[in-house]
Structure 1
Amino acid sequence: MAVINPALPLPAFATFQTATTTGGAVGRGLHTELLSSAWTGFFAGCLHTLSGPDHLAALAPLSIGRSRLESAAVGALWGCGHDAGQLIFGLLFLLLKDRLHIEIIRTWGTRVVGLTLLIIGAMGIKEASEVPTPCVALENGECDISVYESVGSPIVGLKKKKIGFATFATGIVHGLQPDALMMVLPALALPSRLAGAAFLGMFLVGTVVAMGGYTVFIGSCSEALKDRVPRITEKLTWASSIVAIGLGLAIIISQFFGFSLY
């Protein structure tokens, strides 16, 4: 009895082949979509964080004079607070929508940000002012610091405040702003929920990484200069604190002239 093989594939086998090919293509497409959304969110988080002058001005006085590990902790904690603030605003936007008065929130949020910059700057100046100035007593009773520094005597360092909830809370204040919609709206516009979640999650990660990297850079530079330039930590703290106060005043004053610097 002869067995005849059909020239054409069976319908069931052809359907299985087509489904397998289609499933593989869909899987690869979903993987590519998730990766591109995640990397886009990561770079958007880094760019958003590092492009904010209020972010940089707020963290500089907190990072100067700290070790790399402490500086990284400051930046990461502040970044986590910033993420928390953005998530809170995003949830409020999704829940309240039309009932949320964006302009009122923007106005008062900007004023609070300016106030936090003033507080951070004032605290930095207070810390720098509390460092005693060592000197050598002269015969006439006066004090000469240049003699003390020239002999290579150790200088009393700046005592930084402990890293705590205040750093996290400051991050929340800076994150609880209408620009948090930059994180929410692109995530909602993506074609799938998974892609939106990938964008959102990596945006938050990018914020923490960028802030941690920035504070490590500031802390490392101040530590490297500390042994070469006398009292550089106090001088840098003074300078960064004055910048923070100046930016805070500019942000608050600009509100009364009908425009916003923030």
Structure 2
Amino acid sequence: MLIAALAGIGAGAAHALAGPDHVLSLAPLAVGRRDAWRVGLRWGLGHGAGTLCWAVALLASISATRLQGMDRWAEAAAGLALVAMGIVGLRRRRAHEPGPAPRGIFVVGLVHGASGGSALLLLLPAVVAGSGIHTANYLAGFVAGSTVAMTALTASLARLSMAGGRSARVMARAGRMASLASLALGAFWIGRGVVG
């Protein structure tokens, strides 16, 4: 049981930190914020909830062909979330204040968690775990690992952006660049998901 939970934690953390969409979704809101860890926590909890939706779908229907077709549209949905976060980041930078974390950050994490095809592969051990308790431990570990990793990532991005007394001008540029990168990746994923 402990091994299943530890495997889930490792897989969840690796998944959260390896995806450029995760970093670019959070970077526009993390730069220059003292409470960026809260953004990461909300996003991570939403991502965990979305991943659990995938797990339930996977456990209910092991038909890989149906899931394979859904992956294209799921990627487009994640692209939309990236575009939305890029727009939110640019609006916040235009106002020259990071402000409070947007209330919709949980929903953005949910969309990312429910739309990631790579998370689907990492959930396969839960499907073949053999027992309900091992499956539950793996999934709980996956959610915890990805949430803690994203919380730490956003806190680190914020700390890095404020290190050494960087000027407000530098932080604004970094925030704009992260927002534009989020927009670009999101637009690419939308195009790839729709066109194929």
Q: How do residues 180-195 of structure 1 correspond to structure 2 at under 5 angstroms?
A: 180-195=119-134
Q: Following TM superposition, by how much is the alpha carbon of 1:183 offset from its aligned partner in structure 2, in angstroms?
A: 4.4
Cα RMSD over matched residues? 2.2
3-state DSSP class of the match of 1:172?
Answer: helix
> Quick one: structure 1 residues 224 and 185, their matched pair in 2 at CA, closer, same or farther if it must change by over 3 Å?
same
Cα distance in 1 between the residues matched to 2:151 and 2:6: 18
The TM-score with structure 1 as length reference comes to 0.68
3-state DSSP class of the match of 1:231?
Answer: helix
Q: What is the aligned partner in structure 2 of residue 120 from structure 1?
A: 85
- The reply to whether residue 218 of structure 1 matches residue 187 of structure 2 is no
> Quick one: structure 1 residues 169 and 193, their matched pair in 2 at CA, closer, same or farther if it must change by over 3 Å?
same
Amino acid corresponding to residue 105 of structure 1 in structure 2: M
Q: What is the aligned partner in structure 1 of residue 192 from structure 2?
A: 254
Cα distance in 2 between the residues matched to 1:121 and 1:85: 20
Q: Following TM superposition, by how much is the alpha carbon of 1:190 offset from its aligned partner in structure 2, in angstroms?
A: 2.5
User: Identity of paired residues, percent?
Assistant: 31
Structure 1: segments with no counterpart, 5+ residues: 1-33, 132-158
Amino acid corresponding to residue 26 of structure 2 in structure 1: L
Q: Which residue of 152, 169, 178 corresponds with 1:240?
A: 178
Q: Following TM superposition, by how much is the alpha carbon of 1:96 offset from its aligned partner in structure 2, in angstroms?
A: 4.5
Q: Following TM superposition, by how much is the alpha carbon of 1:36 offset from its aligned partner in structure 2, in angstroms?
A: 2.3
Cα distance in 2 between the residues matched to 1:94 and 1:221: 40
Q: Which residue of 153, 158, 165 corresponds with 2:103?
A: 165
Q: What is the aligned partner in structure 2 of residue 176 from structure 1?
A: 114
Cα deviation, 1:49-94, whole Å, max 9, x if unaligned, reads 1111111110100111211xx2111111101100101111221333
Higher helix share: 2
Q: Greater relative contact order: 1 or 2 (C-alpha under 8 angstroms, separation 6 or more)?
A: 2
Q: Following TM superposition, by how much is the alpha carbon of 1:116 offset from its aligned partner in structure 2, in angstroms?
A: 1.6
Cα distance in 2 between the residues matched to 1:198 and 1:217: 28
Cα distance in 1 between the residues matched to 2:30 and 2:24: 11
Cα distance in 2 between the residues matched to 1:188 and 1:126: 42
